[in-house]
Amino acid sequence: MSRSPEQDSDWTTGVGDSAAGESARVARLVRVAQHIEMHADEALTLSSLAKVAALSPSRLQKQFKAAFGVSPKAYQDAVRMRRFKQSLKDGSKVTDAIFASGFGSVSRVYGEANRSIGMPPRTYRAGGAGEVIVYAGRTTALGLMMMAATDRGVCFVEFGDDEASLMGRLRSEFPEAELIASPARNAPELDAWMEALDQHISAGAPRPDLPLDMRGTAFQVKVWQFLLSIREGDVLSYSEVAAKIDKPRAVRAVASACGKNRIGVLIPCHRVLRGDGGLGGYRWGLERKRALLEAERRSVTRE
């Protein structure tokens, strides 16, 4: 009796511990992801994608989400959004960029764009034009730190060796926003926030609970929000974080989200380690990550 593609795929994935079976499963899902990348501007259905993988639609949905952390539909929207954002940066009109990226309707992209990039499309196209971002810097125990905030909260905390490089990073994120150095009379909140964070870093005071303006994909924001729940002195592995947010197969995506965090310390991505206990990566250097973890261990021990 002949076997259906679904039965074949069941047998392949059913070996579980078999390296060959796992390799075949991953290859199928990568093939689907590549198909979505190549046809992102088309109306793709779950059924049509299931044929690419030789799986049933329900099984594809489950396996794809487990591997990539998002559904095939959300993955396609993310590809479209990336192209949409690039078109805006390249100078395309908003309506041209919407249809060129495959969204198909103005209303749909406005809802998706506001969720994914934290600002209306026209504002993003202009690199944050119309937004006022106040920034300040000071030397801390971790070196020079720059903090910046919109009217919604802190959107940027980075560390570097000199002011010029930090300003370059801030301008890269918000190239057309009005960037204002903070004299206390114009932004007393930011100065107070800087002082509170410096006290945490340099003097062991509690990490301040400040309003945050997080800008990223839905998955990234989900990871960052979870990181806020990790207590001082505790550490988790990337795989443990993935499991905690119900995305156990999305370990690499979790690591990527940690690496793209632009709000250092306030979003404590330094509390996430490799599975073997190694430090893993850190946007601002492993020495800073090590120093933060050691300071937190000392603080907890004193208590």
Q: Which residues are catalytic?
A: 269
Q: What is the largest CA-CA distance in the chain?
A: 81
Residues 6+ apart with CB under 8 A from 149: 133, 134, 135, 155, 156, 187, 189, 190, 193, 213
Say how many C-beta atoms besides its own lie within 10 A of residue 222's C-beta. Answer: 18
Cα 234 to chain centroid, rounded: 21
Distance CA 44, CA 46 (A): 7
Distance CA 263, CA 152 (A): 14
Question: Could you tell me the two tokens for 160?
Answer: 């570097």
β partners of residue 154: 149, 212
Q: Are 93 and 125 in contact (CB under 8 A)?
A: no
Amino acid letter at 214? M
**C-alpha dihedral over 288, 230, 213, 147, to 10 degrees?**
-20
Distance CA 101, CA 109 (A): 10
Residues 6+ apart with CB under 8 A from 254: 69, 223, 238, 239, 241, 242, 245, 247, 272
**C-alpha dihedral over 122, 126, 129, 130, to 10 degrees?**
-20
